[in-house]
Amino acid sequence: MIKLIQTPSAASERPRTSKVHLITYGCQMNEYDSQRVAGLLQQQDYELCERPEDADLILLNTCAIREKAEDKVFSQLGALKRLKKARPDLVIGVMGCMAQLQQGRIQERAPHVDLVFGSPAISRVGELVARVRRGERAVLDTGEGALVKIVAKPESANRLKAFVTVMEGCEKRCTFCVVPVTRGRERSHAPGVIVDEIRGLAAAGCKEVTLLGQTVNAYGRDLEPATDLAALLELVDAIDGIERIRFTTSNPYNLTSRLIRAIRDVPKVVEYLHLPLQSGSDRVLERMHRGYTQARYLELIDEIKATVPEIALSTDIIVGFPGETDEDFAATVDVVERVGYDNAFVFRYSRRPGTPAAEMPDQVPDEVKARRNAELLAVTGRVAAVRSGRLAGRVLPVLVDGVSRKDLREVSGRTRCNRVVNFDAGGRRLLGSVVPVRIAEVLPHSLRGALAEVDADARPFAGASV
């Protein structure tokens, strides 16, 4: 669960402003959407608050990708029922993917919810809340909407890094996935709009952007004139102040040699690629409707490694997809070993309403999914540890973005390959600077290092205290 950072409270002499408490579940796109909603509501004189008890408006930004994500939302809504009973004027809203997919169930199971709206309606959030406040019940807005780029965003503690959605929706028809239903068809934002947004972020101190799309490497093909992600990366690279560019999620089906070369050639693009495998078995990949085979996936990996030898790779894998046999699963394990991922996200297949896989007859029992999940996590952990080991003793550029979680005297940052590094800054104010750090120790979830040498003009982030 991601809560938005609280803004400084309004001056005490001001009339009482309304307070909004936002709870975000799910992916980076949801985090981005929550920030837009918070920004838009602040323009309407709402202020963010930490505790639901203090709020006049509570919004849950939801995820529908797996059943577990939905269960969390229903249990949260159950907990909020008590608050609503005590304060009937409290407005409770559900937004995001679950709002699109489960509108009926939300109304049935949580009749105390006043407002349900999908991501296409985010730009209208102020108006929707106002309608509820005028007494309309329940306000529903879950249709498709025009493509709107909202750049409103609350004052946030971390101005150094930002997500930027470059396209909405998904056109893929993966048989397990609800995203095409919840986020609609694929639509790219124009390059100029994206560049303007990132210029604004850079002017406010942002150093690293992550470009977001469900199939981000399909960016631009729907635009007139058509463009692609490689061209967008070059435009973003030219923005002063931005030091690093990441992008996610790429689909193997749309991965081009041109994009692989851009990872090598565009200086600010980091050597990191998240490339979901989902399964290593051709039979399962076909039933998933992924559009590639194991051999094609491995061919792409070979090309990436040959072009960008420093590349760090991460992936998503589903275990227990309908019909997955022990043999299919063994093929997945084999690919994991061969690729050598730096990081892997393993999911147990979850039956999603309205998706073709949910209707497939040969569903895999939960205990088999659990066993394969545990087995695969052991393999991915071992493989990732070997990959981490290669970093020991090397000097890596680290973008300092905060204080170490375990030791407040130390600072924390990330390598270009997205590993957390903690080190002693020797009292220097380094927040927002990229500094060379020698990696002394490789731990399971982070690295420890020592400052190698600091450039005389390492630029501290304005107002930094680290």
The token duo for 173 is 């028809």
CB-wise, 125 or 317, nearer to ligand SAM?
A: 317
Interacting residue ranges for ligand SAM, rule: CB under 6 A: 27, 65-66, 170, 172, 174, 176-177, 179, 214-215, 249, 251, 276, 278, 316, 318, 347, 349-350, 352
What are the phi and psi torsion angles at 3 (to 5°)?
-100, 145
Cβ at position 304, least distance to ligand SAM in Å: 16
Residue number with CB closer to ligand SAM (332 or 433): 332
Q: In the 8-state DSSP scheme, what is residue 269?
A: B
Question: Closer to ligand SAM at the Cβ: 117 or 349?
Answer: 349
Closest to 110 measured CA to CA, from 143, 84, 142: 84
Closest to ligand SAM by CB, 252 or 449: 252
**CB nearer to ligand SAM: pick between 26 and 413:** 26
Strands (E), 139-186: 139-141, 161-165, 167-168
Point out the residue whose Cβ comes nearest to ligand SAM.
316
Beta strand segments in 134-230, E: 139-141, 161-165, 167-168, 187-188, 208-212
The least CB distance from residue 29 to ligand SAM, in Å, is 8
> Quick one: which of 148, 175, 174, 166 has its CA closest to 210?
166
Express the helix, strand and coil content of the chain in percent, nearest 5 each.
35, 20, 40
CB of 395 to ligand SAM, least distance (A): 34
End-to-end CA distance of the chain: 27
CB of 318 to ligand SAM, least distance (A): 5
Least distance to ligand SAM, CB of residue 56, Å: 31
Q: Which helix (H) or strand (E) holds 338?
A: helix 326-339
Nearer of residues 200 and 354 to ligand SAM, judged by Cβ: 354
- To ligand SAM, the closest distance from the beta carbon of 227 in angstroms equals 20
- Looking at the Cβ atoms of 46 and 321, the one nearer to ligand SAM is 321
Residue 79 to residue 87: CA distance in whole angstroms: 14
Is the CB of 117 or the CB of 292 nearer to ligand SAM? Answer: 292
Sheet holding 272-274: strands in order across? 272-274, 312-319, 343-348
Q: How far is the CB of 376 from ligand SAM (least distance, A)?
A: 12
User: Which residue in 193, 184, 173 sits closest to 146, CA to CA?
Assistant: 184
Residues 6+ apart with CB under 8 A from 431: 160, 400, 401, 402, 411, 460, 461, 464, 465, 466
Tell me how far, at minimum, the Cβ of 317 lies from ligand SAM, in Å: 7
